[in-house]
Each structure stands twice: as C-alpha cells, then as structure tokens.
Amino acid sequence: MIAATGIGIVIVAGSWWGIERRKAREREISVTTAVHASSHAPAGVRIKVEVLNASTVRGLARRATMHLRDRGFDVVAVGTSRDRRDSTLVLDRSGHPDWATLVGNAMGGAEVELRPDSSRYLDITVLIGASWRPPAEPFYP
C-alpha cells in the first residue's frame, strides 16, 4: 500500500514537471520567433542594402552579406570603408526608419542613424564594426 502511494506521487510529480517544462519551451519558442520575425525583411518589399567593412577583420562584409541575404534583404553592394569602427552602424539613406530598424535588429541590435543620400540607389548602408560577429545558427545535419 505504501509502495503504491509512493509510485503514485512519483507519477504525479513527473507529469507536473513535464507539463511545466513544455510550457517553458513553448514560451521560449514564441519569444525566439518574435525576435527572428522582427529581423527579417517584410514579404514583398525590396530593401536595397550596401554593406561596408569598417574594420580590419577580413571577410566581415561577406559574412554580413550572407547573413542579411538569409533574412530577405537585397544586398546590392559590398565593399570596404575608409573609416574604421568598433561597433556596427546602420545608416538610413532613403527615409525609411522602420527598414533601418529591421536591418539593425538583424545585425544584433546595431545603432541606427538617419543620413539621407538621394545620389545612392539604395535604402540602407551598413558599416560593419570590428566587434560584429554573425550569430550562431543551429546545425541541422
């Protein structure tokens, strides 16, 4: 009788733990989805981006280009900036602060500034700072 009661308590406790763990995982997934959704280009909108390496780290602009293209942004120019920066800066060239914020979020919360330039045929310029690293992506073998 005592053994049966002990087994019942273990089963109830295990069920409760499993339910709470599942709820926590669902909350984690919804937060992750919200963060990733806010760092992607909106469907049907072409946001033209220029990526410039403003550091001495080789290949950073190329990695940032792949990172932004994976999130739906149209990277139309890649190069190196004469200026050097430690942190990444997103420049709004076309007067679309919401687009600049999306790119800033995709770049890990980079600072965003308004610097209109109608002579350029693009919407956003990203100056990649030396401290930027692409976020880790899950590995699916």
CA-CA distance, 92 to 114, in Å (whole number)? 5
Return the structure tokens found at 136.
Answer: 């880790």
Token pair 């942190």: residue: 87
The one-letter amino acid at 105: N
Q: Which residues of 86-102 are buried (b: 16+ CB within 10 A; e: fewer)?
A: eebbbbbbbebeebbbb
- Check: CB of residue 64 under 8 Å from CB of residue 89: no
pLDDT at 140 over 70: no
Q: How do beta strands 111-114 and 124-128 pair? A: unpaired
Read off the pLDDT of residues 32-79 as tens digits, 9 standing for 90 and up: 444 444 688 888 889 999 999 999 999 899 999 999 999 999 999 999
CA-CA distance, 70 to 129, in Å (whole number)? 20
Domains of the chain with bracketed CATH: 48-128 (3.30.70.2390)
What does the pLDDT read at residue 34? 40
Read off the pLDDT of residues 84-107 as tens digits, 9 standing for 90 and up: 999 999 999 999 999 999 999 999
Q: Please name every residue paired with 89 in a beta bridge, in sequence order, or none if there are none.
A: 111, 127
